[in-house]
Chains A and B, each alone.
Chain A
Amino acid sequence: MSVDVAWAVEWVRRSAQTIAEHRDELIELDRQIGDGDHGENLDRGFRAVVAKLDALDEAPAQIGDVLKLVATTLMSTVGGAAGPLYGTAYLRAAKATASADLDSAGVVALIEAALDGIVARGKATAGEKTMVDAWTPAAEAAVAAADAGGSPADVLAAAAKAASVGAESTIPLTATKGRASYLGERSVGHLDPGARSTELLLAEAAAAAAA
């Protein structure tokens, strides 16, 4: 599948499905080092996104339109830090994707804009045990794949793989941002739930393009 509006819609529907499937896992991860609401909140948010997609009379014209709908819906319905963080990520990504389809450079722009949004909103940098630790390597891998002449689907696959490695890398880290930072050293040994949900979402971005 080329990376177009249909891909964006497919990505969103797959995202809702994977978040629903991993809801309990995300709740458990967040319970270990946070307030335990990440899985429930994201699941509620993506269910609302799908409901809004279903209610549309006609398909959006641009990828950015789909991502903007995700952004505003997540902000309104998530109710935890993931709402404004992912909301800002999708909003910035929407602004970077005002077109009907994306080439490899366009996919890179989408991922970089999302990372920029999360960093701007959360003021976290890599190594602080947050979703930034999954998004940063994803953006770097996307750039490398595009530079190497990869297709848009290749770029998404590389980003997804790097996000997965990045999420795993949060396990030994001490949290210094977000609710987990109150735990300090006790956060060591746990996978960051935001990095895990990032991994899940980017895996579906790649899967939707490979389908």
Chain B
Amino acid sequence: MSDDATGVDPTGDAARVSLVLVSHSRDLARGAVELAGQMAPGVRLIAVGGTPDGELGTDFDGIERAFAQALEGSRSAVVLMDLGSAVLTAESVLDLADEATQARVKLADAPFVEGAVAAAVTAHGGADLDAVLAAAEGAGRMYDGARGEVAPAADANVTEGAGDAVADDGVVRVTRTLLNPMGLHARPAAVVSRMLAGYDAKVTVNGVSAASVLALMKLGATQGTELRIEAVGPQAAEAAQVFATEVERGFGEI
């Protein structure tokens, strides 16, 4: 079934990359769309799950329709699949599609749920097709690599308290205490990632990329955790500041 779509508001941003989530199970596809959609309300997300009569399996014609729907308005699309026949069927549909479709649809070799969330948030930030694909495919490595991506700054260099500072090495460092009772969970993580996409700066928090929702969630930051924000790049100061402000206001949750 491909009638379970979110983000299909025709007034929405047509330039954003769409996602098609193909599962053996209708519930699983819908659930993944629901989860990813919460963090990327402006992205067209289409669920295709189960056979046409609602059993477990894959639906060739349903996937074909979902591709067409995902590409409306000159969009491009990244597709995530759960198990064997979902992959094979999505590949078959693409093989038989016209060249215009083949050029605008990419199948991701990615974990279904994590990949969908990472791709949705990246698409929401306005990234192009290759970047959304890379976000999906990079999601599988988050479990073992999240904390090691960027070396954290030595504590001596961190400016404590409310002050911001640009150190000699050009890194803007700000430290704030996380106020949210629920910690840095999915929604605030998505807020951070989405917000920072608009700045020309590389931002890390406690050593992980703030552009990655999954990396942020993997920090496991709970209420009271010190967040060491570090930014480099032309808009480092602005990026660090908006991040710090969001932490102070509890990402709108408190």
Contact = CB atoms under 8 A, between A and B. Distances in A.
Interface residues on B, range: 10 to 19
Given A75-B60, A84-B88, A179 B83 contact: yes
Interface string B84-127: 11001101100110000000000000000000000000000000
B61 A41 contact: no
Interface stretch (B30-38, B51-59, B166-174): B51-59
| B interface majority secondary structure | helix
Contacts of B89: 75, 83-84
Interface in B61-93: 61, 83-85, 88-89, 91-92
A41 B83 contact: no
Interface string A174-209: 000011000000000000000000000000000000
A103 B129 CA distance: 47
A179 B57 CA distance: 13
A170 interface: no
Interface residues of A, number: 20
A37 B58 CA distance: 12
A22 interface: no
A80 B83 CA distance: 10
11 contacts: A79-B85, A81-B88, A83-B89, A84-B85, A84-B88, A84-B89, A84-B92, A87-B60, A88-B95, A121-B92, A179-B84
Given A80-B85, A83-B89, A84-B92, 15 more contacts: A35-B56, A37-B56, A76-B61, A79-B85, A80-B57, A81-B88, A82-B85, A83-B85, A84-B60, A84-B88, A84-B91, A87-B92, A88-B92, A88-B95, A179-B83
